[in-house]
Amino acid sequence: MRIFRRSTALIAVSALAGVALAACGAGNNSSDDAGSGSGIIVGTTDKVVSIDPAGSYDNGSLNVQTQVYQYLLNFPAGSTEPTPDAASACDFATPTTYVCTIKPGLKFANGNDLTASDVAFSFKRVVAINDPSGPASLLGAMESVEATDDTTVTFTLSAANDQTFPQILVTSAGPIVDEETYPADAVMDDDAAVKANGFSGPYTIAKYDKNQLAEFKANPDYDGTYGPAATKTVTMKYYAKAENLKLDIKNKDIDVAFRSLTPTDIADLEKTDGLKVNTGAGGELRYITFNLTTMPGDSKEQKLAIRKAMASSVDRADLATQVYKDTFTPAYSMVPDGQAGATEAFKDAYGEAPDADAAKKFLDDAGVKTPVNVKLQYNPDHYGSSSDQEYNAVKRQLEATGLFTIDLQSTEWVTYSEEYNADAYPVFQLGWFPDFPDADNYLSPFLSPYDKEKSGNFTNSHYNDLDTEFADPEMTKLLDSERTDGDQASREATLKQIQDRIADQVPYLPLLTGSQVAVGVDGIKGLDKTLDASFKFRFTSLSK
Amino acid sequence: MATAEVLAPLDPPTPEPSLRRRGGVPPLARYLLVRLALLIPMMWVLVTMVFVLMRVIGDPIQAALGGRLTAAQIAERKADAGLDRPILTQYWEYISGLFRGDFGTTLTDNRKVSDILVVNGAATLELALWSLIVAFAVGIPLGRLAARYRDRLPDILLRLFSILVYAAPVFFVGLLLKLAFTPFGWPSSGRASISNELILQDVRPRTNIMIVDAFLWGDPAIIGDVLKHAMLPAIALGLLTGGVFLRLVRVNLLQTLRMDYVTAARARGISERRVMNKHAFRNALVPVVTVMGMQVALLLGGAILTETTFEWKGLGYQLSEYLIKRDFLAVQGIVTLIALIVGAMSFLIDVIIAFVDPRVRF
């Protein structure tokens, strides 16, 4: 009993002491974060899969890699033109060899020299490790890479004059790692990567708790595209829930909230005093995919008419405003507005607003009986929580024409990803976030000749499937042309032809493209500079 | 009073020496051995169920990586993870891995599950302990109060309160607490302020239990900050169990107060306060200890929602993250550990009860 009493007393005293201490701290701002003055705190709901470039290919990891690694080429603020970073120059030596010269005297933060050998090692290990979460697939165009001498790296490419290759050097496949500290055949875990300090980017990582907190310190030896960091210390706070991110930026406990606030949260924060919502070019694309082999229609012509009728019936502006509170904008091409060579092919072909008469004419001309029954599938857990509202709105819009009866169904991603690849869905939702800011990245993955083994056309639409009536050699020719055309004007002309052809064939129906949104407290500068079409969030641009 | 203590040995009678041993084994040891023996098949059933369930719901590689890799690459990954081998071989490797402390590696971010269990498990342990303190602080005194004022207004209000806190979803309570306290500057998420979390990363040796790390660092402001951050999650989760404790203490105290030995104590003129404190209340706590084992499972279940609501990056939060990513190998590891914790807690509670209540040994 005495022991019990003593324990109870101990618990009570501890609890009271705790409450007292907590109460003492309640009004004490000495440990408050955003107000500490020296650094900037950025909040995000993105997660880091791996700091090691060989083991990650996602936004959260890329965000860290952007700050701590150097690339051969990189995008300066406001540009999508690859510019020398660790390289002093890169160019095609022959149609299939791309040669980069490394700047002399570069070093990693751990003191090791950064040489051509490190560069070749970095690319080789991405391919060798071929991690399922890694970016090896981005290097499909690279046949080999060698360090010719201490300052020269030579890439051998599988296709001549591949104009997308310089862009690939800036993607998740491009960070340069320290050959002396990174294993050649395995992904390095994050704690080991931080300890190894094999970073040569504008920042190094001073403290790191995976997906909880990371503290970045400016690297005084950085010599690259981004220039010197405007802020010496940036802390990244990782949130589990967007509502907590919103609450903390609203209370100004953090300085910046970047990815991913809901449209409703953003609308609310816009009205909050002391905060500024910054928007920039977005690359995300939301679209409907037609499985050309299983979609409704008795013939190729009828199927095309149904696709065209749907293209004439959707109201993108309504979806953008009603569902996404204008954080998304209408997409009138598979290449979003803002990318070099983007057109508005669908607007030109089907108009800006829905046109039920035009839709009816397409169907009547092809002899399609109305209403057309369409089984429309969407996914509620992979493309954001608003997919449900978005596809219910699409259903309403299509049915409002009186030409369609929509059987709307949703499936969880695990099953969804299996079933759309097994031709189970005739018409279905997909989304796309680009690997690099080039029009080709919005075209080739969707339109290349169908190849299940190489995942050339990953959507399983059967468009350009060589074994079917939907093969499109003309499209293949156009894609090959734009990829290898070094002349910007003629390349853009080819890109226009491709986009017009998509609008004419409608294997996909682009709906919306997303803007990048970052909310900053008053006094934070540079957010507008980093929210550009390169999709790289640069801490170097931020200051307060 | 002195007379009563001389006359009446009110504690349960000491067993006869003849009852102490059966087959030469002391009853306590026999009881513990039986419990331990029962624990092994229970653990085996638990881990087997986790293994089977994780395979019944689908192929973990397809679930985690489907849509990102081709069929051939998926097959290659399955082979790498050993999932193309016979199910019994996989099962044997899973079980033998558990004995080695190897819970596997996550599919989506290549982390050792055992590392997650150490880092995030510490956070969950801390939250569970804070919640238990809240549960005891709320449930025991209020249960006693309710029993004392049986069927009167305080009792009715407290019973309503207990039902309310038990029935209300923990994330809802969490949300209400956040809405109520955040406007007054109370932290709504995290285990400490960002700057203090950064400071505590330098503590050596680091336990990942924030309050311990804060004490090791020795700055009272940081200790206060950590306690302040723990308050709302602990209340949200602790109230859930506190409601159960409240009702248990009340019911058991009322039952105990009707027992013959309590009536005898009263008849001997012992004050009501002493009857309550010395004779009734202590015995009424035994069932609370019994239920505590089950409450640990409830706490761990509730931790999933509480941790996500309050950004408390523990096992529950990590479990929900891996569920979202369909990383069923990670889920399997975490669920197995939770099952083992619940099993171990159940055994521990049995041991405690054996000491607190000698009747169970016989």
* Whether pLDDT at A406 is above 90: yes
pLDDT at A170: 95
Whether the upstream peptide bond of residue A371 has omega within 30° of 0, thus cis, is: yes
Does residue B56 belong to the interface with chain A, where contact is any CB pair within 8 Å? no
The DSSP letter of residue A342 is -
B207 touches chain A (CB under 8 A): no
Cα A470-A475-A479 angle, rounded to 5 deg: 140
- Kindly determine whether residue A241 and residue B185, on different chains, have CB atoms separated by under 8 Å: no
Q: For residue A255, what pLDDT band results from cuts at 50, 70 and 90?
A: very high
Contacts of A252 in chain B (CB under 8 A): none
Question: In chain B, pLDDT over 70 holds for what percent of residues?
Answer: 90
How far does A543 lie from chain B, in Å, by closest CA? Answer: 18
Does residue A226 carry a pLDDT above 60? yes
Do A418 and B62 make contact, defined as CB atoms within 8 angstroms?
yes
- Residues B109 and A49: beta-carbon distance below 8 Å: yes
Out of A18, A28, A50, the one facing B109 most closely (by C-beta) is A50
User: Alpha-carbon distance A275 to A523, whole Å?
Assistant: 9
Q: Across the interface, which of A19, A23, A235 has its CB nearest the CB of B198?
A: A235
Of A31, A47, A244, the CB nearest to B222: A31
**pLDDT at position A179 over 80:** yes
The two structure tokens encoding residue A192 = 């080991």
Backbone angles phi, psi at B218, to 5 degrees: 90, 15
CA distance A334 to A349: 14
**Which residue in chain B is spatially nearest to A214 when comparing CA positions?**
B198
Q: Which residue has the tokens 């618990």?
A: A11
Which of chain A's residues have a Cβ under 8 Å away from the Cβ of B186? 26
A vs B, Cβ pairs < 8 A, gives: 145
CB contact under 8 A, B70 and A21: no
Token pair for A252: 């100004």
Residues in a beta bridge with A516? A280
Q: Which of B189, B197, B228 has the CB atom closest to A26's CB atom?
A: B228
CA atoms of A303 and A310, how far apart (whole Å): 11
Provide the CB-side half-sphere exposure for A109 (13 A, CA). Answer: 26
**Contacts within 8 Å (CB) and 24+ apart, A221-225:** A221/A107, A221/A109, A222/A70, A223/A103, A223/A106, A224/A70, A224/A74, A224/A85, A224/A86, A224/A200, A225/A71, A225/A73, A225/A74, A225/A75, A225/A76, A225/A83, A225/A84, A225/A85
* Section A477-499 average pLDDT: 94
Residue B321 distance to chain A (closest CA, Å):
8
Mean pLDDT of chain B, nearest integer: 83
Backbone angles phi, psi at B68, to 5 degrees: -105, -20
| CB pair distance less than 8 Å for B58 and A414 | yes
Lowest mean pLDDT among A243-257, A430-444, B39-53: B39-53
Of the candidates A514, A453, A438, the residue with the CA atom closest to the CA atom of residue A483: A438
Residue A460 φ/ψ region, left for φ over 0, alpha for ψ in the -120 to 50 degree band, beta for the rest: left
Residues in a beta bridge with A205: A216
Query: Is the predicted pLDDT of residue B13 greater than 60, yes or no?
Result: no
Number of H helices, E strands in chain A: 17, 19
- Is the confidence at residue A531, as pLDDT, over 50? yes
pLDDT tens, position by position, A270-295: 999 999 999 988 788 999 999 999 99
Q: Which residue in the set B63, B71, B196 is minimally distant from A31, CB to CB?
A: B196
Q: Would you call B201 and A455 a contact, using CB atoms and an 8 Å cutoff?
A: no
pTM score: 0.81
pLDDT in tens, B189-203: 899 999 999 999 999
pLDDT of residue B66: 62
Strand partners, A90: A100
Least confident of A428-442, B90-104, B288-302: B288-302
CB–CB of A240/B171 below 8 Å? no
CB contact under 8 A, B69 and A455: yes
Q: Give the angle subtended at the CA of B320 by the CAs of B317 and B323, to the nearest 5°.
A: 150
Amino acid A477: pLDDT: 96
What are B144-183's pLDDT values in tens digits?
999 989 999 999 999 999 999 988 888 899 999 998 998 8
Other CB atoms within 10 Å distance of the CB of residue B143: 29
Nearest to A33 among B182, B194, B317 (CB): B194
> Would you say A172 and A74 are in contact if contact means Cβ atoms under 8 Å apart?
no
Distance of CA B22 to the CA centre of its chain: 35
Contact flag B308-A26 (C-beta cutoff 8 Å): no
Banded model confidence at residue B38, pLDDT cuts 50, 70, 90:
confident
